[in-house]
């Protein structure tokens, strides 16, 4: 072998040997443990902290909301989709309540080619005239039809049972007193729902709770059918304390559910036209204080001042109940 | 060349010759020693392999074989998965780098070509208002749509991943429980893997100087949670579970549906199974 080739080969061999020796010292321990990679990196990746915490994490403190949400049609829409990741909450402060519900809700519910037919979709322009979705829908349980109870009662039987109610609500369903509501012509589904709520204890009233507890389910249906069938005989109450004109402006926010003049557009919700102003004031204040529980009314009454409430009551009390708008 | 240079040349040749011999001798000596040393070094990590579960003390990867299902007939294109993934995995907040994304396929009447867009399409970025939020623009609202559907995409966690094969440093690998991961500490940012992936599932993270992709939220699934995208999907279009468990959501999904994988001809053997997609999807 020529000398220079021998030198070259031995130099290469020498470097090779050095490399082979150096390799185990330069390679981290865990590298070949399972294969051609660093086993410790698996442990490092597995040790990262989750950012999204799941609904179970929220349930601990927000149990009432959680119960409502998990019973509704939005139960597949987890808390963190709308409120953001819960990591660091509550230590680092509150999670946001989405401001622009239209933008958020239409992410899923805007009618769009490609969305499966089973997905509830709306034509945004024709659906709400720019109002926020949360005005009518409770985002935690958005299905409105859930409040609608079918009423199939016997009005004649209801009339007999109604004799017991007459002392407060009037013989013909027109209350003689400012603080008790008129029942004549009220929506049957609403009447049945509220009576059932008194009976179950979901809604409480010193006078109504024991009375409703004495009623059977069929009697509730009969009573609802009877009062709903009575003519409301528009009897505007004594002039109320509030400013009806100011109330009219406020009432625009209520129109989607209660109708423009309180005539009611959906039988699930009460008619308000010609209702007793004292009763309306009390009811709104009860919603605001959380004494009467309704997710939608709690939301809309939160921002009302006592003057607003008086104005609204004055407006609705002055409307004719014959109107169905 | 001058004559007086000769002595120095000869001296250099002599020196190199001696150095060569010395190197050979030392090499042979150390080489012999190394044969004794090397088995010791490799043996050092052996006992740890059977000590307890790996990779964490509560999770044993030899007991799982993860799989992912996508039901395109359910997807509504709300992109909550994309946002959740970005938040969960510290993916750069822009409209161009994603670990998971959603594509829309639209067939119009009298048009043989399929229209494909995803949330990174300029029209969709404009509809969302910024590159930090994601939304599909209602651009086919007034068109005569023959057929349209959404397809969520993510890393397929292939059984024979091309990306792992090309990695020069062992920075990407397939775990025993069937997840393809990236060791960001060992990634040198050469982007061979980004090129090699036939599904475009990898992106290059300029901030960190490394390749990045979906891990099926390995840090979540090893703690008994669902991946973030599965957790937030409101319509159940994404399904995840353990293929070893015959009652897991993914086993039921594969058993109860006619499933397919993307680009089976590449031989990567993906582990994301699709239902309800057309031949245009790949």
B32 touches chain A (CB under 8 A): no
Residue B202, domain CATH: 3.30.70.20
Q: What angle do CA A29, A31, A33 make, to 5 degrees?
A: 90
Per-residue model confidence as pLDDT tens digits over B231-255: 999 999 999 999 999 999 999 999 9
Average pLDDT rounded to a whole number, residues A258-272 = 80
Any domain includes B152: yes
Structure tokens at A236: 């505007």
Looking at the structure, tell me whether residues B165 and B218 fall in a common domain. Answer: yes
Candidate from B17, B76, B183 with C-beta closest to A38: B183
Any domain includes B158: yes
Structure tokens at A161: 């049972």
Please report, in angstroms and rounded to a whole number, the separation of the first and last CA atoms in chain A.
Answer: 110
Residues of B in contact with A7 (CB under 8 A): 16-17, 20
Which range of residues forms the domain containing residue B24?
Answer: 3-44
Looking at the structure, tell me whether residues B39 and B113 fall in a common domain. Answer: no
**Residue B248 C-alpha, separation from nearest chain A C-alpha, in angstroms:** 19
Number of domains in chain B: 2
Any domain includes B119: yes
B39 touches chain A (CB under 8 A): no
Residues of A in contact with B143 (CB under 8 A): 113
On the question of pLDDT at A115 being above 90, the answer is yes
Looking at the structure, tell me whether residues B125 and B15 fall in a common domain. Answer: no
pLDDT-derived band at A253 (thresholds 50, 70, 90) equals confident
Looking at residue B47, its pLDDT comes to 43
The torsion defined by the Cα of B255, B258, B263 and B266, in degrees rounded to 10, comes to 50
Structure tokens at B85: 């993934």
Q: Which of B78, B160, B220 to mutate to test the interface with A (most CBs of A within 10 A)?
A: B78
- Say how many CB pairs under 8 Å bridge A and B: 168
Residues of A in contact with B42 (CB under 8 A): 24, 32
Chain A CA closest to residue B82: A81
Looking at the structure, tell me whether residues B36 and B152 fall in a common domain. Answer: no
If you write DSSP's letter for every residue of B202-220 in order, what string do you get? -EEETTTTEEE---S-HHH
Looking at the structure, tell me whether residues B27 and B139 fall in a common domain. Answer: no
Could you give the 3-state DSSP secondary structure of residue B172?
strand
pLDDT-derived band at B40 (thresholds 50, 70, 90) equals very low
Looking at the structure, tell me whether residues B89 and B32 fall in a common domain. Answer: no
Among A177, A295, A181, A197, CA closest to A232: A181
Candidate from A14, A29, A50 with C-beta closest to B44: A29
Chain A CA closest to residue B57: A43
Per-residue model confidence as pLDDT tens digits over A154-182: 888 888 888 888 888 888 888 888 888 99
Q: Which residues contact B147 (CB under 8 A, 6 or more apart)?
A: B106, B107
Chain A CA closest to residue B129: A103
Per-residue model confidence as pLDDT tens digits over A182-228: 998 888 888 988 898 898 888 888 889 889 988 888 888 899 989 98
Quote the crossing angle between the two packed helices A217-229 and A188-200, to the nearest 10°.
150
Structure tokens at A76: 């597949």
pLDDT-derived band at A274 (thresholds 50, 70, 90) equals confident
Any domain includes B50: no
Q: Which residues contact B133 (CB under 8 A, 6 or more apart)?
A: B83
Yes or no, beta carbons of A17 and B31 under 8 Å apart:
yes
Residues of A in contact with B140 (CB under 8 A): 112-114
B22 touches chain A (CB under 8 A): no
Looking at the structure, tell me whether residues B206 and B242 fall in a common domain. Answer: yes
How many angstroms separate the CA atoms of B18 and A155, rounded? Answer: 120
Yes or no, beta carbons of B234 and A81 under 8 Å apart:
yes
Looking at the structure, tell me whether residues B173 and B218 fall in a common domain. Answer: yes
**Residue A88 C-alpha, separation from nearest chain B C-alpha, in angstroms:** 13
Any domain includes B49: no
Candidate from B48, B76, B234 with C-beta closest to A115: B76
**Residue A17 C-alpha, separation from nearest chain B C-alpha, in angstroms:** 6
Yes or no, beta carbons of B27 and A18 under 8 Å apart:
yes
Domains annotated on chain A, with CATH: 94-113+120-135 (no CATH), 155-229 (1.10.760.10), 244-317 (1.10.760.10)
Any domain includes B115: yes
Residues of A in contact with B20 (CB under 8 A): 6-7, 10-11
Q: Residue holding tokens 């969960």?
A: B88
**Residue A145 C-alpha, separation from nearest chain B C-alpha, in angstroms:** 21
Mean pLDDT, chain A, as a whole number? 87
Which B residues in the span 64-93 are in contact with A, Cβ-Cβ below 8 Å? 73-80, 84, 87-88
A299 vs A81: which has the higher pLDDT: A81
Per-residue model confidence as pLDDT tens digits over B108-156: 999 999 999 999 999 999 999 999 999 999 999 999 999 999 999 999 9
Yes or no, beta carbons of B88 and A52 under 8 Å apart:
yes
**Residue A307 C-alpha, separation from nearest chain B C-alpha, in angstroms:** 39
Average pLDDT rounded to a whole number, residues A286-312 = 85
Chain A CA closest to residue B141: A112
CA R_g for chain B: 27
pLDDT-derived band at B278 (thresholds 50, 70, 90) equals very high
How many angstroms separate the CA atoms of B213 and B117, rounded? Answer: 20
Looking at the structure, tell me whether residues B65 and B183 fall in a common domain. Answer: yes
Any domain includes B105: yes
**Strand arrangement of the beta sheet that strand B272-275 belongs to:** B238-242, B66-71, B272-275
Looking at residue B51, its pLDDT comes to 58
Any domain includes B30: yes
A94 Cα distance to chain centroid: 19
Looking at the structure, tell me whether residues B143 and B215 fall in a common domain. Answer: yes
Looking at the structure, tell me whether residues B37 and B152 fall in a common domain. Answer: no
Yes or no, beta carbons of A14 and B55 under 8 Å apart:
no
On the question of pLDDT at B4 being above 90, the answer is no
Residues of A in contact with B44 (CB under 8 A): 29
% chain A with pLDDT above 70: 94
Looking at the structure, tell me whether residues B140 and B19 fall in a common domain. Answer: no
A127 vs B113: which has the higher pLDDT: B113
On the question of pLDDT at B79 being above 90, the answer is yes
B26 touches chain A (CB under 8 A): yes
Q: Are A36 and B51 in contact (CB under 8 A)?
A: no
Q: Which residues contact A249 (CB under 8 A, 6 or more apart)?
A: none
Q: Are B47 and A35 in contact (CB under 8 A)?
A: no
Please report, in angstroms and rounded to a whole number, the separation of the first and last CA atoms in chain B.
Answer: 69
């Amino acid at each position: 072998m020529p000398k220079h080739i021998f030198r070259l080969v031995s130099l290469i061999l020498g470097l090779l040997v050095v490399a082979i020796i150096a390799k185990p010292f330069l390679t981290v321990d865990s590298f070949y443990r399972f294969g051609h990679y660093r086993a410790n990196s698996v442990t490092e990746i597995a040790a990262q902290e989750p950012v999204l915490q799941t609904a179970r994490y929220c349930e601990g403190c927000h149990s009432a909301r959680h119960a409502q949400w998990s019973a509704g049609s939005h139960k597949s829409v987890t808390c963190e989709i709308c409120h953001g990741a819960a990591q660091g909450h509550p230590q680092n402060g509150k999670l946001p309540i989405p401001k622009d519900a239209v933008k958020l809700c239409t992410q899923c519910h805007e009618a769009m080619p490609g969305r499966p037919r089973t997905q509830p979709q709306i034509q945004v322009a024709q659906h709400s005239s720019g109002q926020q979705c949360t005005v009518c829908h409770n985002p935690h349980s958005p299905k409105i039809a859930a409040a609608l109870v079918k009423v199939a009662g016997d009005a004649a039987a209801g009339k007999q049972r109604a004799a017991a109610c007459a002392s407060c609500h009037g013989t013909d369903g027109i209350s003689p007193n400012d603080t008790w509501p008129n029942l004549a012509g009220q929506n049957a589904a609403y009447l049945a729902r509220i009576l059932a709520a008194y009976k179950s204890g979901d809604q409480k009233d010193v006078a109504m709770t024991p009375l409703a507890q004495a009623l059977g389910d069929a009697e509730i249906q009969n009573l609802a059918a009877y009062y709903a069938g009575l003519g409301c005989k528009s009897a505007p109450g004594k002039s109320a304390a509030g400013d009806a004109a100011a109330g009219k402006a406020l009432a625009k926010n209520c129109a989607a559910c209660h109708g423009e003049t309180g005539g009611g557009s959906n039988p699930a919700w009460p008619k308000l036209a010609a209702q007793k102003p004292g009763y309306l004031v009390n009811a709104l204040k009860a919603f605001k204080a959380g004494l009467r529980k309704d997710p939608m009314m709690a939301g809309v009454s939160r921002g009302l001042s006592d003057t607003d409430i008086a104005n609204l009551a004055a407006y609705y009390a002055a409307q004719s109940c014959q109107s169905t708008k | 060349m001058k004559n007086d240079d000769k002595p120095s040349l000869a001296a250099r040749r002599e020196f190199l010759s001696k150095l060569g011999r010395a190197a050979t001798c030392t090499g042979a000596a150390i080489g012999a020693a190394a044969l004794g040393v090397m088995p010791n070094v490799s043996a050092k990590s052996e006992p740890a392999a059977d000590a307890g579960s790996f990779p964490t003390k509560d999770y044993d990867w030899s007991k799982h074989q993860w799989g992912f299902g996508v039901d395109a007939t359910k997807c509504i294109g709300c992109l909550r998965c994309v946002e959740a993934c970005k938040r969960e995995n510290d993916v750069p907040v822009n409209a161009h780098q994603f670990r998971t994304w959603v594509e829309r396929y639209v067939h119009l009447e009298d048009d043989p070509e399929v229209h494909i867009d995803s949330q990174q399409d300029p029209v969709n970025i404009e509809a969302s208002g910024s590159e930090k939020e994601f939304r599909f623009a209602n651009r086919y609202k007034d068109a005569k749509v023959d057929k349209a559907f959404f397809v969520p995409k993510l890393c397929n966690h292939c059984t024979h991943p091309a990306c792992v094969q090309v990695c020069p440093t062992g920075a990407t690998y397939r775990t025993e429980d069937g997840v393809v991961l990236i060791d960001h500490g060992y990634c040198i940012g050469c982007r061979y893997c980004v090129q090699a992936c036939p599904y475009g599932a990898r992106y290059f993270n300029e901030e960190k100087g490394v390749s990045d992709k979906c891990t099926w939220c390995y840090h979540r699934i090893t703690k008994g949670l669902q991946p973030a995208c599965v957790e937030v999907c409101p319509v159940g279009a994404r399904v995840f579970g353990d293929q070893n468990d015959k009652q897991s959501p993914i086993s039921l999904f594969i058993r109860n549906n006619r499933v397919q994988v993307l680009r089976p001809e590449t031989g990567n053997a993906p582990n994301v199974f699709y239902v309800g997609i057309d031949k245009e999807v790949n």
